[in-house]
Structure 1
């Protein structure tokens, strides 16, 4: 009995370390990638949109790739994902290849990250034994990841300020360090697998689950694809391209947003438990509409010269990005909502994977169209479009039933 309790304790500790170090590694690579494109290759807004094709294509392919690895446990697939991420980012760390070759390694790195996304949620929820505390536990996972995202941002700020990190040097040490951290994550997954008596294996067959119970979930993930792509790609690009801000400035914003998130994300988990999914979906939708409207007005002023690039307008732009960083962390609401309506628990991972594919199909289209809109009419119209589309989220929130998420759609316990 004591041995069993000891094993459970070790399993939880290792998974927490995995969550923490993954956030740290991504903070030193994926979170600064826009500055890498600008500093190392001096790309335009149109090119920035095109780059999203190799970055987001793995999100479309992930459901087929995971299905092809159906003989493997979720932990083994997570290990393969880490290896791909390491290969992609360490190559860009040691070399500055021609633009087209760079895109190949961006694709490899992104493939690893996207394979890990649904598997991470599947493993995390499999380790939660008490359904009544799932919101709290998921909030803890997100909160821990946020703490280490803050640490990554601090390292980015210090590294670029003192000159140790640079995207114009022969070796991009920030990417090399990121690869080493992901290597530790790979080893931790190996240790986790040894401690778990029964392998975690979810249904990995290509199963396009178009149950009527899931229709609003798919609408939410499609809308998230639009919102995520516009703000994650073009939000920072306003600062980088229009205001000439570098990685250290964006790191400071990330530090502030993540610090607030340390308290905000666990609170979201508690709010889900207390208020229910429906009310949180309303809050999520309204937050996105506010962010896009304000940022659209600011980017219009910056691009036309009607607003100063210092002082209050710049401060407001910073605040919007910080607020958006908090808003995007509310994505766990969608995952918990899916669990609440799942007809079968084995539907969760394939549905997450299919949702991720739909999300990324939309992301690729939006990234490309966003670059065209920016180039032809101006950056503000990208954000105004996103604000108008976010009204769909309000519609979905009005249709979602506010059932307890510890139950599936027909009222039977999971």
Structure 2
């Protein structure tokens, strides 16, 4: 079999490579920052803010297409992710961790931007949802392997964190170099615009993306925090919960993709947002730790249905707009990441329940937006109002 003739294999291999580095970086960060770099709350807060800046500036990936092809940019970004992770352990200082974090994050966010663009270009519309589900499953499997290797290295083999960082980044670098060799040049179906483009007719996609980013920040920052603060979960128990999430996503994400292809984006996103309203509302008042675990896992499964946002864009957009729109959307998605954690940290001190209830309210706004998606989206029919008529162009 000639792998170079199968563009999806390129995306599948990179999907496997990314979580190895990011999983290692994420799993070791707090311990390494405290034990090696003597971080406190202020320093870790600054680091997390710096980590989000490349996501907010993801639109810059489009401008780089003047210098290189999307395939090359994806590989270069993955190398930056691998290198940033590999060298983290060798810079155990405040400035060192800030610099390696920005390098790692730059690679991660630019890869994610180009990955979305290439996926929507290379996957046929009738199978895109299923293929995107397969990408989620591959990432979940790779994350499981990464977490397993971290446990083996630290708890069984007593390998230092510095070496684990090096191994995690090195594996990502090796897979990336393999892809660079095996896939020398995959033909572009459509040449992409190399400038930033905001189109009025994509407004619903932009709105869904913004609301998704805002709502996701609330869950990512505070759901796990609740598990520790309110229910006293240990790091080991949190890790087991992550593993359960990964295992279920690996099994169910391709099936969710098929379901989206069968139902269509409107029904799929409607189900997701109704589910999220229930999950966030329940999180505000949950008192049983096992119910909280169930809610946490349910949220991750529902989040897989966000694939429908991408396939909605694929169906309504000009094929030349994929790269530009992916960059703009990633930046829109990260607007909330710059503002919400600090603002909701203050709200958390007053009322943790209020944090999750506002998340439920955001889910309600997303639900209203989802109902504006046509049952069969296409160019010229991006939005339908309650009368059933398409929005004027």
Structure 2 counterparts to residues 238-387 of structure 1, below 5 A: 238-241=226-229, 243=231, 245-298=233-286, 313-342=288-317, 344-374=318-348, 376-387=349-360
Match of 2:163 among 153, 173, 189: 173
Quote how far apart the aligned CAs of 1:12 are.
Answer: 4.0
CA offsets per residue over residues 235-267 of structure 1, 9 Å max, x none?
A: 222334555545432221122112111232111
Cα separation, 1, equivalents of 2:189 and 2:373 = 34
Does residue 71 (structure 1) correspond to residue 100 (structure 2)? The answer is no
- Structure 2 residue runs of 5 or longer lacking an equivalent are 383-393
Quote how far apart the aligned CAs of 1:276 are.
Answer: 0.8
Quote how far apart the aligned CAs of 1:358 are.
Answer: 1.1
Q: Which runs of 4+ in 1 moved over 6 A?
A: none
Q: Which is further off, 244-253 or 118-127?
A: 244-253
Q: Which is further off, 249-258 or 236-245?
A: 236-245
Cα separation, 2, equivalents of 1:288 and 1:33 = 29
The TM-score with structure 2 as length reference comes to 0.86
Quote how far apart the aligned CAs of 1:21 are.
Answer: 2.1
In the comparison of the two structures, how many residue pairs are matched? 381
Match of 1:151 among 142, 145, 150: 145
Cα separation, 2, equivalents of 1:67 and 1:77 = 11
Quote how far apart the aligned CAs of 1:297 are.
Answer: 2.0
Does structure 1 retain, via aligned residues, the 8 Å contact 2:279–2:299?
yes
Task: Tell me the residue number matched to 1:227.
Answer: 215
- Structure 1 residue runs of 5 or longer lacking an equivalent are 299-306, 308-312
Task: Tell me the residue number matched to 1:215.
Answer: 203
Q: Which is further off, 23-32 or 84-93?
A: 23-32
Cα separation, 2, equivalents of 1:200 and 1:80 = 21
Does structure 2 retain, via aligned residues, the 8 Å contact 1:92–1:105?
yes
The TM-score with structure 1 as length reference comes to 0.82
Quote how far apart the aligned CAs of 1:279 are.
Answer: 0.6
CA offsets per residue over residues 167-210 of structure 1, 9 Å max, x none?
A: xx6x4333222211220232033125415255985323122x13
Distance 1:216-1:13 versus aligned 2 partners, 3 A rule: closer
